[in-house]
Amino acid sequence: MTDHVTHVTHPLVQHKLTLMRQKDTSTAVFRQLLREISQLLAYEVTRGLPMTTRQIETPLQTMDAPVIDGKKLALVSILRAGNGLLDGVLELIPSARVGFVGLYRDEETLEPVQYYFKVPTELEDRLVIAVDPMLATGNSSVAAIDLLKKAGAKNIRFLCLLASPEGIARMKEAHPDVPIVTAAIDEKLNEKGYIVPGLGDAGDRMFGTK
């Protein structure tokens, strides 16, 4: 993956995202759409993985067939909203190893505070896909990737649903080696650090909290 930002403009992704943005979309429908869109985004974020071949037997003959090379991927959910993306991605990559980074946003400073960190072993040998639906200020994403690098990760990609221009700039400055895959790049952040037009609080919308 060479571009720093991949904006996934596929019609299915864009249509589902529009339904998710609508304020009257129920929790159940929001969750279902998130699951579906995550699988489509998983397809994009795994593009260009190194491949090798394995000798297999078809009913007709032996062939050297393509398979993904290397260690199992590591998916790392940035809690709690990351779990919504994680579920759909895991459906497409069921053998992936899974980690969690718990960060909450201090509502006054908007700075991330860590409360949980558990990631797969041998992170340095795996492609690590960090997932968080909203790349807003970029503070928590940058902090999560700082922690993943400290834990040994060398090959990281970041998957989100919505990104703000500010969040992209912050990530590019702090982690230019981490490609971002997103379904949309919205207009801006508001004074509370929300993405606008956005979809509101992704965690609240997927878990039905307020």
Q: Looking at the annotation, which residues are catalytic?
A: 105, 109, 201, 204
Q: Phi and psi for 29 in degrees, rounded to 5?
A: -70, -40
Does 194 help bind ligand URA (rule: CB under 6 A)?
yes
Cα–Cα distance for residue pair 96/172, rounded to 1 Å = 26
Angstrom CA distances, 149 to 7, 144, 153, stand at 24, 9, 5
Task: Of 145, 133, 138, give the one whose Cα is nearest residue 183.
Answer: 133
Does 36 help bind ligand URA (rule: CB under 6 A)?
no
123 vs 189, which CB is nearer to ligand URA? Answer: 189
Does 20 help bind ligand URA (rule: CB under 6 A)?
no
Does 171 help bind ligand URA (rule: CB under 6 A)?
no
Cα–Cα distance for residue pair 123/95, rounded to 1 Å = 15
89 vs 134, which CB is nearer to ligand URA? Answer: 134
Does 198 help bind ligand URA (rule: CB under 6 A)?
yes
Cα–Cα distance for residue pair 144/92, rounded to 1 Å = 23
Does 195 help bind ligand URA (rule: CB under 6 A)?
yes
Does 30 help bind ligand URA (rule: CB under 6 A)?
no
Among 34, 76, 123, 136, which residue sits at the site for ligand URA (rule: CB under 6 A)?
Answer: 136
Does 202 help bind ligand URA (rule: CB under 6 A)?
yes
Q: How many residues line the site for ligand URA (CB under 6 A)?
A: 9
Among 134, 151, 156, 206, which residue sits at the site for ligand URA (rule: CB under 6 A)?
Answer: 134
Strand pairing partners for 127?
A: 155
Angle between helices 165-174 and 139-150 (to 10 degrees): 30
104 vs 116, which CB is nearer to ligand URA? Answer: 104
Question: What region does 48 belong to: left with phi over 0, alpha with psi -120 to 50, or beta?
Answer: left
46 vs 140, which CB is nearer to ligand URA? Answer: 140
3-state secondary structure of 165: helix
Known binding residues are: 80, 105, 132-140, 195, 200-202
Per the listing, tokens 């869109």 go with 37
Binding site for ligand URA (CB under 6 A): 81, 134, 136, 194-195, 198, 201-203
